[in-house]
Amino acid sequence: MVPPVVMGRPVASPVYLVGQAPGAKEGVLGKPFAWTAGKTMFRWFAGIGLDEEAFRERVYMAAVCRCFPGKNPKGGDRVPDQHEIDQCSVWLHTELDLLRPALIIPVGKLAASRFLAFGQLSEIVGKRHRVEMDGMGADLIPLPHPSGASTWHRREPGKSLLEQALVLIQSHPAWRSLSDPDAH
């Protein structure tokens, strides 16, 4: 893993977003989802009520692994291995224990696999799941990874499942509490 550790703002939020790991640009820019994938993801969230600035101020942003895992020799970023995931898991568990979010939004297959067992993204995206862990319960609404390298969210069934997931997020009480202008 390549430092620095990349974290979102320390915000007490009922919504917890968790990605895979920062990319090469995020360490330089000092914030998660700061490059191409982030631009796509923040367009999704702007469409359901929170632009990037409001999202960063109101949603706790985390990652399965907190440092850039390096490049994959075959292209793209290397997926963190199980040892790296285990090493960083204390942060994920501690944050969830402290925040006790009502809504968890895992972004991408690796992040979703920390909470759910599944084969294909199409089995879990577009649905709300109830998870119980560490003595707390939360709703989980997975999203695909917004990477430019992935076409999953731009073709069927991914495109429709992404739209369904965003509708579920938008209607969730935890999200509505953040996107309601009268709540702030």
DSSP for 27-95, please give it: HHHTSTT-SHHHHHHHHHHHTTT--HHHHHHHSEEEESSSSB--B-TTSSBPPPPHHHHHHHHHHHHHH
Q: Which residues contact 125 (CB under 8 A, 6 or more apart)?
A: 142, 143, 144, 158, 161, 162, 164, 165
Residue that wins the pLDDT comparison between 74 and 124: 124
pLDDT at residue 134 greater than cutoff 80: no
pLDDT at residue 161 greater than cutoff 80: yes
Write down the pTM of the prediction.
Answer: 0.94
Q: Which residues contact 163 (CB under 8 A, 6 or more apart)?
A: 126
CA distance 92 to 153: 26
pLDDT at residue 150 greater than cutoff 60: yes
What domain range includes position 140?
Answer: 15-183
- The reply to whether 91 falls in a domain is yes
- The reply to whether 5 falls in a domain is no
Number of structural domains the chain divides into:
1
User: Residue 76, Cβ neighbours under 10 Å: how many?
Assistant: 13
- C-alpha dihedral, 71 to 155 to 145 to 44, nearest 10°: 130
- The reply to whether 163 falls in a domain is yes
Q: How many residues does the chain have?
A: 184
Q: Average pLDDT, stretch 2-26?
A: 93
- The reply to whether 42 falls in a domain is yes
Contact between 1 and 23 under an 8 Å Cβ cutoff? The reply is: no
Identify the band that residue 148 occupies on the pLDDT scale cut at 50, 70 and 90: confident
| Per-residue pLDDT tens digits for 16-57 | 999 999 999 999 999 999 999 999 999 999 999 999 999 999
Residue with the two structure tokens 């992935």: 150
- The reply to whether 140 falls in a domain is yes
CATH number at residue 166: 3.40.470.10
pLDDT at residue 81 greater than cutoff 90: yes
- The reply to whether 8 falls in a domain is no
User: What integer pLDDT is reported at residue 179 of this predicted model?
Assistant: 83
Q: Average pLDDT, stretch 144-152?
A: 88
pLDDT at residue 183 greater than cutoff 60: no
Three-class DSSP category at 115: coil
- The overall average pLDDT reported for the chain is 93
Mode of pairing for the β-strands spanning 129-133 and 136-140 = antiparallel
